[in-house]
Amino acid sequence: MSSHMHIVFAASECVPFVKTGGLADVIGALPAELVRQGHAVTVYLPLFRAVSTQLTAKRQILIQSLTIPFSDYNRFVSVVDGGTRDGVRFLFIDCPELFDREALYGTAAGDYPDNWERFALFCRAVLESSKQLGVPDVFHAHDWQAAMLPVYLHTVYAQDPALARCGSVFTIHNAGYQGWFSPQTTERLLLPWDLYRMDRLEQYDTFNFLKGGLVFADALTTVSRKYAEEIQTAEFGYALEATFRRRAADLHGILNGVDYDQWDPSHDRFIAAHYGPANLAGKAQCRRDLLHAFDAPDLPETTPVLGIVSRFATQKGFDLLAEIAERLAERELFLVALGTGEPFYENLLRSLQERFPHRFAVRVQYDNTLAHKIEAGADMFLMPSRYEPCGLNQIYSLRYGTVPVVRATGGLDDTVAETVNPGEGTGFKFHSYEAADFLHAIDRALGCFADQASWQQMMLRGMAVDYSWKQPAAEYIALYESVVRRRS
């Protein structure tokens, strides 16, 4: 067994405190699993307004004032105790003038113009706090909001005797979000101008937070093996592919785990009946309950129900769905969709429901209960994403015996297996981002569904796969250890 390490996580989101995307789920689950495997973890988050309402009135302030310098003024930050959950210690960086706002990153009008200051301050404050509250073996920073932490650690803090031996790991959850700011950011953050170069933080005449993390962290990870390859190409690298390629030897794809406490049909508290591999009977009841929730007719058992839970966005493949909708209406199937997103696709789905009520039903909202009912009650689950760094719903679907039909990209490609051999495979995939290929994959699934015996075998193979956090956490621990060895 490895020696005991202390890891500090720095991120902008974490369930149950604050969430806009999959990052929050990872920060909510991975630290607890690292603790179960024998390590100490402290998670730092900004004290956003959304978080502050969840903390008790009697706040324990651990550090009353840290000075964070900027070019012609100082900001003063305090550190608030967030208590311990599942053995993980939570600490919040409090700076009301920067974090006590309606939204996390911006409003409908656009990103907050001072995001450079908000998140650089957060990164510096985590380093300064650690010196008083516990210096870790490794700092693990996530996404552009925490990307300046490895930059500071290995540049202006490089001579700090307290932090000299700390390693850094940086995880990219989505390379599309980078944190682009003006060149002046360099001096506003009191950084030497030699950091503002093409091989460091400069990218097309802007100061790029994400790029800084990629260049300076000891090791990089992303959330699936396939996505680690994809971001090294022009199609998925968002103009940073050369930087990803330069660090290819230090870039590791570690698939996200999922939380089976929340997502498992044998004990899911949101569904009509519990079921599992040994007894699939409850799934039929969940299917009836799902159709009822969508005010849909009671379908014959031979008609498959297709489910979608998603942001309605081009990134998620809704342009492909739009292209094949008329053709799907001719098939023997019923499609239920849940989500919100781009108005164009919200309206498209509503109009499909109006025109083909016997084929399509949509709810334009975010509803966790209904999301669980779709996972349990649908026969197939569609995820035709343009790109999907990891993806969670296809993994949930496997566990629920809801066969996924996915585009072979990122984590979707890593977690869903399709083969031509009967007795193998857990779902259906299409490779090129073409509507015809998507339709062909759905048709293969419909053909298989008609043969209930082999369909049930496919369901059971999917239900048997384990994507808990146990294995990914072990991979992170091995990576932390290699970083510690390199720095000692």
Residues 475 and 362 in one domain: no
Do 59 and 159 reside in the same domain of the chain? yes
Neighbour-count burial of 225, counting CB atoms closer than 10 A to its CB (0-12 exposed, 13-18 middle, 19+ buried) = middle
Establish if 267 belongs to a structural domain: no
Closest CA to 207 of 220, 198, 219: 198
In a 3-state reduction of DSSP, which class is residue 332?
Answer: coil
**For residue 366, is it within any domain?**
yes
Per the CB < 8 A criterion, the answer to whether 329 and 360 are in contact is: yes
What would the two tokens of residue 361 be? 């039903």
Same domain (yes/no): 78, 128? yes
Q: How confident is the model at residue 2, as a pLDDT?
A: 56
The answer to whether 38 and 2 are in contact (CB under 8 A) is: yes
* Domain around 384: 281-464
**Are the beta carbons of 426 and 462 closer than 8 angstroms?**
yes
CA dihedral angle for residue 108, residue 114, residue 115, residue 116, rounded to 10 degrees: 150
Residues in Cβ contact with 406 at an 8 Å cutoff, skipping those fewer than 6 apart: 382, 383, 384, 385, 388, 391, 394, 412, 413, 416, 427, 428, 429, 430
Ordered alpha helix ranges (H), 217-308: 225-230, 241-246, 281-293
For 2-32, the pLDDT digits (tens) are 589 999 999 999 988 998 888 999 999 999 9
481 and 402 inside one domain: no
Low-confidence ranges of the chain (pLDDT < 70): 1-2
Residue 107: in which H helix or E strand, if any?
strand 106-107
Would residue 266 count as lying in a domain? no
Q: Which of 162, 168, 98, 156 is nearest to 133 (CA)?
A: 162
62 and 96 co-located in one domain: yes
The pLDDT score that the predictor gives to residue 19 is: 87
**DSSP designation for 234:** T
Same domain, 286 and 381: yes
Judgement on whether residues 427 and 409 belong to the same structural domain of the protein: yes
The rounded distance, in Å, linking the Cα atoms of 470 and 446 is: 34
CATH of the domain at 28: 3.40.50.2000
Residue 463 tokens, joined: 């239900």
Same domain membership, residue 379 and residue 311: yes
482 domain-assigned: yes
Are 136 and 119 within one domain?
yes
Domain tally for the chain? 2
Give the C-alpha separation, 329 to 323, whole Å. 12
Which residue type is seen at 367? D
Q: Is residue 265 part of a domain?
A: no
Specify if 274 maps to a domain: no
Helices in 115-221 by DSSP H: which ranges?
115-133, 148-154, 185-188, 209-216
| pLDDT score recorded for residue 1 | 44
Q: Model-level pTM?
A: 0.92
454 in the same domain as 480: no
Whether 28 and 159 share a structural domain = yes
* Pair 299, 332 in one domain: yes
| Domain contains 271 | no
